[in-house]
Structure formats: structure tokens, C-alpha cells
Chains A and B, each alone.
Chain A
Amino acid sequence: MIFQPAALALLLAASLNALLLGGSGVFALHLLRHWNPASGSERQIALERRTYLVSTLVGLSLLLSLPALALFVHNADAMATFFTGAMCAVGSLKANTWGMPALWAMLAGFFLAAAWLVLNHLDSLGWDTPLLRGKYRLLLVLAPLSVVQAGFLWLYYLNLNPEVITSCCGSLFGPAASGVAAEMAALPVAWAMPLFFAGWLLTLAAGGAFLARRRFGRLFGVLAGLHFPLALAAIVAFIAPYIYEQPNHHCPFCLLQREHGYAGWVLYLPLFLGTAAGIGAGLAAAVRADSLADVAPRVAAGLAKVALAALGLFGLAVLLYLRRSHLVL
């Protein structure tokens, strides 16, 4: 057990989140069964009122998830001194089985909550709340996820043992390692770099086409979603080595450290924001409802603008880091 303020704060946050969203999940079941907009019964009015609480809760959850995710990684990084062999967040996260699952669950929670809020916003703009059932079905995914997330986090911190000899990022992303992470790291730059920039430009082009012509909105959403793993792979494959100026240092977490000018934060924040907004734009563009025929495209365009700005910024930051680097791969 590791007993420190950041861990306590994260456990508190995740537990509250699980409690609030878990409760919302139970409510979602209730609502899906009894919802009847035509009725003026007191039950219907009570259900309607409860939806305000749920929207606020998911909003709070989203607001919480990004700082919590950042704190989780930051703290894992700071804890590296605890574990023999750990040099950065990877070592701490690999110190037991639960670190990486917790990280993935938090990532999924962030994007799902963002998508839910986009749906919720659209739904509230239509007089007949056309997306209500859809968004509450999605809540049935989000709620258990929040419980799982809290579970992983508890398991992770309770089972942390400083005696454990963990692996440093070199063993996860290094030449001798195996697994997905190592394969990403082993991608030859000669085609990883063009592939990444092609994907990036394609995503931006789809977004631009959507803004200019009101077409390819769904495509943009899908591309923004696909761009995220591509960008992560690119960071491991070549962006990180360029920033470290070391051909064999592929770690995506060491980037967050002060020694590397907090490059990780510069890259990840716009990437996350852009991906969430891009997926949201795609969702908004995909919505088919008469009562949203006017507003949905406007919401989609607004989100697309945010996504384009953030993803553009991300790509420019990558270019800047590559230019500044003295490394030649």
C-alpha cells in the first residue's frame, strides 16, 4: 500500500465518481423502462427532473477525469523513485498488474464522458429530446466503466509494493522487448513518419471539408478517433526519440518530465482535446433527428473548429520538436 496525498486524492475522486455515476446507471435503467414524454404524471415529471442531476454529474465526471488522469500519470512518474528499476511512470505503472488497466480505463472514461456530454447537449436542443434513449444507453456503459475504473485504482494502490523490482521504460519500449508497445517502438521511421503525417493531414482535410462543405462530418469523426492511436504510435515510434535525442529511448511518459521541457503536456493536452472534440463533431454530424435538423450541424461545426485547432496545434508542436532536435534517424 502506498500512502501518499496524490494517491489518496485519486482514490477519493475515483470512488466518488463511481458512486455518482454508478447511481446514475441505476437511474438510467429506471428511466429507459418508464420514460413517457407524453405523460404529465408525477413520475414522468420526477424522471425529467432527475435527468438534470445526471447531466450535471456526468459533466462533473468529465471535468474531473482530465485532471485526475494527469495527476495519475504525474504521480506515477513521481513515484518512480520508489521502485527499483523504475525510471519514470512506466516503471510505477508496471509495478503491479493493475496500473496499466487503470490508465486505459481512465482514458476510455474521458472519451466516453466527452461523447456523452455532446449527445446530452444535442439532446437538450431538440424539443422532443430525440437522443434521450440513446444517451441513457450509453450511460449504461459509462456507469460500470466508472466502477471498474475505481476498482482498478484501488487494486493498483493497495497492491503497490516498494520491494518489487519493476521494469524501466527501456524494457517496455526497447529493442529487446516484445508486445504491442515494443512493436510500435520498432516501427521504422522511414515509413512511420510519413504514415503519421499523412494520417494527420487527412484528418485535418476531412475536418476542413466538413467546415467548408458540410460533408464528410462522420468521416471526420472516425478519422479523429483513428488519429489518436496513430498519434500515440507515432510518439512512441519516432517523436519521443527525437525529443530525447536518443534513438533507443521511446518512452511516451518520460516526455512529461521537466528534463524534457514538459513536452508531453504540450503534445497530449491538445491531442486529447482535439480527439474528444473531433469524435464529438462526428457524432453531432451523424445525428438524424427532425428536431435537430438545424442545430446539429451547427454544433458539429463548432466542435469541428475546436478539434481542428487542437489537432492542428498538436501536429505543429510535433513538427517543431522534430525541427529542433539534433537527432537524425
Chain B
Amino acid sequence: MRAWIERQRGLVDFAVINLGRRWGRNLGLFLAYTLLVFLLASVVLYGDALRREARLLLADAPELVVQRLTAGRQDVLPAEWRERLSGLRGVHAVEGRLWGYYYDPASAANLTLLVPAAGAPAPGRVLLGAALARVRGLAPGDVLSLRGYDGHPYAFTVAGILARESELASADLMLVHETDFRAFFGMAPGFYTDLAVYVANPREVRRVAEKVLDRLPGTRVIAREEMRRTYEASFNWRQGLLLTLLSTVLLAFVLLAWDKASGLSAEERREIGILKALGWETGDVLRMKLWEGVLVSLCAFLAGYVLAWLHIFYADVPLFTAVLKGWSVLYPRFTLTPEVDAGQLVTLALLTVLPYVAATLVPVWRAATLDPDEVMRE
């Protein structure tokens, strides 16, 4: 065991010296490698972070949402519909919800006004999403003035900023009291935007949805799982599309790696010949060359991953926002919550390191099996 470790150490030492001696030659490959990891890691990190945000967004959502449709458009619904659903078997609770959109010319964004089921601010007060507060430069105690449905300005005092566990979900959010909401949008009492239906047993969701449609024909019933699946599918699809586009980059890189590994200079051939003549076995040369590959891969992977991390979580993702986010509202500033996941690292390693190793394996083996007596044949 000791001898094994000493030998590996010797091989690593030599690999390091070798890389150092030819750093100019290896630099191009290293940069290309880092770039590849950076691009792929950016796609994967960004997609996963968005998916996580969406999951948080849906975590507290009700199992079913019931909307009234009038001429195919969503419409407010009467409060007595609540009672008509609460008696259904399997339904744990039904809540009327109040929410709506408001286009704010000052921040050029669509705001979501929402009356929370619990923890609503007092009348005349508002809780703001972090992104919105940032753009409008608001702090608790400030007054936010918005124009209501009738053209009159409404003043809200900022009671607090929402904690940003998930910024995607809360960036443009305004939490208000029910009376303010109805006054601001001119919605009569006794009406709700939609109904939230809570189902205790997840396996009964489908059956409950069918019963809801039975009792309230013409409504639209949206299942949370359905939403989640749609989000996931859309993120996966976009991520997969980007990765497929990047596969051409991967291919180019593989060709470069193959070329670099197989194009041994006369000097390198001579050196491998010397090593073999001095008593290095094919396996030793092979291992030394593989160590070189491992060292290059490790450095490039780390560098690329860290750069991608900075790109996604600290530099506002300049590269693929438009493609991946797919949200209709563009957020003024948007910070994702960082998270490392082992599955993600394995995925990235399989997508980058594995093709590199596969591309260099045969050339490396070819180099390692040079004849030991080649040095003597000059």
C-alpha cells in the first residue's frame, strides 16, 4: 500500500512537472475546458435554481383552484359558491381568494396585489416584495401611491418588506387588506377572484376535481400538481434545449481534446520512449498521463463551476435570462437563492469530464504503448 502511494505520488509529481513544462500548449485546452464547464454549469445551475423557486412558489398553494369563466375569460365568482363546495366529500376547506394584477408605470412592471388568508396588513397598509421595494426605493414607513380603478390615487403605507425565501415568487408582490383591495379594484363585496380548495388526501384530488366540475359546470379547475408539472416540463424543456445546443460546443471541445492528446510532438514521443527505456511500464506511463488528465479536469471543472456560480447567483445571469426564465414580467433585479446539489455535480461531471476522458483515452494509450527500444533506434 505504502509503495502504491509512493508510486502514485511520483507519477503525480511528474504529471505536474509535465503540465508546467508545457503550460503554453495546455493553456488553450484548459481555457476551452473551463469555458465548456462554465456554459453547461450555468445552464444546469440556473435551471435548477428556477425550478426550486417554482417549487417554493407552489409549496403553499392549495391542491385545487376553481375559477369562473365568462366567455372563456376568468371572471369574479360569487361567495355562495364556497358553500356549494365545502360539503363535498374529501374537501378539507374552501377559501375565497382575492388577488389581481396592476400595471405600475413607475416601475414598468406588473404588480400582483394579494389579500393573504392570514397575516394581512391593517387597512391602509401594505407589505411589499423585495424587488418592488428596491425599484421604487421604499422602506417601511414610506408611502406608496397608486392609481385605483376609478383614476383616484390610493396611498398605502409600507408596513414591511417580505422576506425573500423565494424572490421569484414574491418579487412583485403587494399584500393588502381586503377592504383596500375591494376599494382599489372596485370589486363588490360577496365576490372573490377564485376559490382555493384544500384536499386532505392527495390521491383524491382528481376525484374531487371531477365533483367540483359536476357541481359548478363551466368553471376551470386547476390542480397544483398540474401546475408543478407544467413548470417542471417547461424548465426541463428549455434547459434540455440549451444543453442540446451546447452539445455542438461539447463536440468541438472533444475534437480539440482528441487532437491535443493524439498530436504528440517528436519531443514528447522521445520522452515517453526514454521513460519506457528507463523501466517505466506501459501502465505507469498510462497512469501518469491519466493523472495529467485528472489534474486538468479538476482545475477546469472547479474554475468553470465557480465562474458559473458567480454568473448565476451574483452577476444577474446576463447570458440566458430570456431563454430560461420565460416569465412575462421582467424583473428589475433578480437574485436566485444558491444551492449545491450532488446530483447536479454528478450530472455536470458526466457531461464534461467523461467526454474529455473518453476522447483522450485512446490517444493516451497509444502514446503509452510506444516501444521502449525506440530511443535506441535513432
A–B contact at 8 Å CB threshold (below)? yes
Q: Is A82's CB under 8 angstroms from B229's CB?
A: yes
Which A residues touch B47, using CB under 8 A? 5
The reply to whether the CB of A322 lies closer than 8 angstroms to some CB of chain B is no
The reply to whether the CB of A52 lies closer than 8 angstroms to some CB of chain B is yes
The reply to whether the CB of A108 lies closer than 8 angstroms to some CB of chain B is no
Q: How far is the CA of A2 from the CA of B237 in the complex (A)?
A: 8
Which A residues touch B232, using CB under 8 A? 81-82
Using CB atoms, name the residue of chain B closest to A54.
B365
Distance (whole angstroms) from the CB of A276 to the closest CB of chain B: 19
The reply to whether the CB of A230 lies closer than 8 angstroms to some CB of chain B is no
Using CB atoms, name the residue of chain A closest to B364.
A56
CB contact under 8 A between A3 and B350, given known A82-B229, A162-B229: no
Using CB atoms, name the residue of chain B closest to A53.
B365
Q: How far is the CA of A68 from the CA of B228 in the complex (A)?
A: 26
The reply to whether the CB of A39 lies closer than 8 angstroms to some CB of chain B is no
Stretch at the interface among B7-15, B80-88, B328-336, B341-349: B341-349
The reply to whether the CB of A293 lies closer than 8 angstroms to some CB of chain B is no
The interface size bin for chain B is 35 or more
Q: How far is the CA of A9 from the CA of B206 in the complex (A)?
A: 34
Within 8 A of B (CB), among A87-131: none
Interface string of B347-358 (1 = CB under 8 A from A): 111110011011
Q: Is B229's CB under 8 angstroms from A81's CB?
A: yes
Interface string of B38-60 (1 = CB under 8 A from A): 00000110010000000000000
The reply to whether the CB of A57 lies closer than 8 angstroms to some CB of chain B is yes
Which A residues touch B361, using CB under 8 A? 20, 53, 56-57, 60
Stretch at the interface among B103-111, B174-182, B239-247, B260-268: B239-247
Which A residues touch B369, using CB under 8 A? 49, 52
Main secondary structure of the interface of A (DSSP, over half): helix
Task: Offer 27 A-B interface pairs, CB within 8 angstroms, sorted by A.
Answer: A3-B240, A3-B241, A4-B240, A5-B43, A5-B47, A5-B243, A5-B351, A6-B343, A6-B347, A7-B240, A9-B348, A10-B350, A12-B350, A12-B354, A13-B354, A16-B358, A20-B358, A52-B282, A52-B286, A57-B361, A64-B350, A67-B346, A68-B350, A71-B346, A78-B343, A81-B228, A82-B232
Chain B residues at the A interface, C-beta cutoff of 8 Å: 43-44, 47, 203, 206, 225, 228-229, 232-233, 236-237, 239-241, 243-244, 282-283, 286, 290, 342-344, 346-351, 354-355, 357-358, 361-362, 365, 368-369
Known pairs A49-B369, A81-B232, A82-B233 / 18 extra A-B pairs, C-beta < 8 Å: A3-B237, A4-B240, A5-B44, A5-B239, A5-B240, A5-B243, A7-B240, A8-B351, A12-B351, A52-B369, A53-B362, A56-B361, A57-B361, A60-B357, A67-B350, A68-B350, A81-B225, A162-B229
For the complex of A and B, the 6 pairs showing the least CB-CB separation, nearest first, are A3-B240, A9-B350, A4-B236, A49-B369, A9-B347, A74-B343
